[in-house]
Amino acid sequence: MANDILDDQKNSITQSVSQRYAKAVTNGEQMCCPTGYNHEDLGQFIPEAVLKVSYGCGTPVGLSTVQPGEVVLDIGSGGGIDCFEASRRVGTTGKVIGIDMTDEMLLLARTHAPTVAKNLGYPTSNVDFRKGFADAMPVENDHVDLIISNCVINLAPDKKKVFQEMFRVLHPGGRFTISDIVADQPIPQYLIHDSEKWGDCLSGSLTVKDYWGGLREAGFRGLHQVTVIPWRVIDGIHFISVTLTGYKKANTPLPSSPIFATFTGPFSQATDELGTIFHRGEPQQIDEQTVNLLALQPYKDYFTLADHPVALTNQDPQWLTVLPEEAPCIWEGNFAVLMGPFLSVSDDDDHTYLSGEPLEICSKTLKVLEHPKYQSAFGLINRAREAVTANPVICGTSTECC
């Protein structure tokens, strides 16, 4: 009985969201957080009728990584804007698949697909729009090079199934780059049951911890933020627009010689997604799984790999460290959220950050995390509701600061 009630609730949410997006085709309602599209550029080959119903957080940045001939999947393709941009990038030898659950959106996209192909100089369209749901995608196993999704997964009631489906359809070595809305804390029931706020990409938000955790549970590795933008604050809950990338790791056979990894920093210590702990400057032999993990793009800047142990000292050019100022600090309401790729990291001021869990930081630590060497790994939010007038404090163990 409990499962039936849960299924009814999921179906109700899905139906409500679909109906709202169907109406948006005709009434032009702005959904989610539409921003970032270059309509002047896209308008050169995409009809105005499609541009008018373009929702999400802007053109998916993952498309900048596309190579001609690749297969791209867009989850929640809507009127087709992102699919048509992907079509331009993959060329005539590539393929684009768009999945959407709303008939009105699919009709709009399919209607204009031949026009887009003609404008691009293609003999026929290389975009296939399919009706389906994110948690049950009509796509073959191990078929896709890149998954994109623009502020859509947030709308799915069962995100765990969505993540599993994403992993299923990607081939080993494939990747995703998705934009979505996440929250800094769990969403209360009164918002979860607010159907209007589901369509606004609010009520369905997972916390960063649960979003990253769900993707890792599905099998993805190398999870890391690409962009993080504060979006809205409702009743003290911070909603964040985030673009993140992850990989379906391919296992490449190792050479016969052993491989050693040396962590270069800027953290003093880090735990990778397989649970291996690394200390800055200390080489350690790694197994085949770890070699393949550290070969992923987000890990490459943190490690030196060699067929022999390479120890580093703080005098080595590869050694990275960013120390806080020798000055009092102020508590200003700032929190840091580790957004990958590590499960946990420690800085040189004895802070330990856990993936997806906000940690309050003082003004000195904020400056450290805003340094380019740290910035790419963290999302920063401020929970102070009023201007802070706190007095400076001298950091130390007795003051429980830093």
Single pTM value for the model = 0.87
* CA–CA dist 295, 293 (Å, integer): 5
* DSSP state for residue 380 in the 8-state scheme: E
325: left (phi over 0), alpha (psi -120 to 50) or beta: beta
Task: Check: CB of residue 400 under 8 Å from CB of residue 348.
Answer: no
3-state secondary structure of 289: helix
Q: What are phi and psi of 231, to 5 degrees?
A: -115, -65
The Cα diameter of the chain in Å comes to 72
Strand duo 259-263 + 269-271: pairing: unpaired
Task: Check: CB of residue 338 under 8 Å from CB of residue 357.
Answer: yes
What domains are there in the chain, each with its CATH number? 2-247 (3.40.50.150), 259-306 (3.40.5), 334-399 (no CATH)
* CA–CA dist 2, 321 (Å, integer): 52
Task: Check: CB of residue 75 under 8 Å from CB of residue 151.
Answer: no
Task: Check: CB of residue 144 under 8 Å from CB of residue 119.
Answer: no
* pLDDT tens by residue, the chain, 402 residues: 334 334 544 555 455 444 544 444 454 545 555 456 788 888 899 999 998 887 655 567 788 889 999 999 999 999 999 999 999 999 999 999 999 999 999 999 999 999 999 999 999 999 999 999 999 999 999 999 999 998 889 888 899 999 999 999 999 999 999 999 999 999 999 888 887 776 677 888 999 999 999 999 999 999 999 999 888 999 999 999 999 999 999 877 777 789 999 999 999 999 999 999 999 999 999 999 999 999 999 999 999 999 999 999 999 999 999 999 888 889 999 999 999 899 999 999 999 999 999 999 999 999 999 999 999 999 999 999 777 666 666 665 444 555
Residue in this structure with the two tokens 């799984």, named with its chain if needed = 289
Indicate if the alpha-carbon torsion angle 159, 76, 340, 165 is positive or negative: positive
Query: Cα 339 from chain centroid?
Result: 9
**Tokens found for residue 7:** 């299924």
